[in-house]
Amino acid sequence: MRRREQWAAGQAILNWSWFGTALFTLTAAAATICPDTFEWLNAGVSLVLFAAGTVAMGWALLIAVERSRHHVIGIAGLYFAAGSASPEVRRILLSSLAVEIVVALTTASMRSYTPAAFGLLVPVWALGLTGLWCARHGEFEVRKTDPQSG
Q: What is the helix (H) or strand (E) element at residue 141, kind and residue range?
A: strand 141-142
pLDDT greater than 70 at residue 2:
no
Whether 146 shows a pLDDT value over 70: the answer reads no
The one-letter code for the residue type at 123 is: P
pLDDT at 28 over 60: yes
Residue 105 CB: number of other CB atoms within 10 A?
Answer: 13
pTM listed for this prediction: 0.90
Tell me the pLDDT tens digit for each residue of 7-21.
567 899 999 999 999
Say how far apart CA 139 and CA 53 lie, in whole Å: 22
Rounded to whole angstroms, the Cα distance separating 85 from 66 reads 19
The amino acid at residue 59 is W
pLDDT at 78: 94
Reported confidence tier of residue 4, pLDDT bands at 50, 70, 90: low
Average pLDDT over residues 69-85: 93
Specify whether the CB–CB gap between 107 and 26 falls below 8 A: no
Does residue 1 register a pLDDT over 60?
no
**Residue 137 carries which side chain, given as an amino acid letter?**
H
Residue 137 has pLDDT above 90, yes or no: yes
d(CA 132, CA 79): 8
Give the pLDDT mean for 93-117. 96
Please report, for the chain, the start and end positions of each structural domain, with discontinuous segments joined by +.
Answer: 3-140
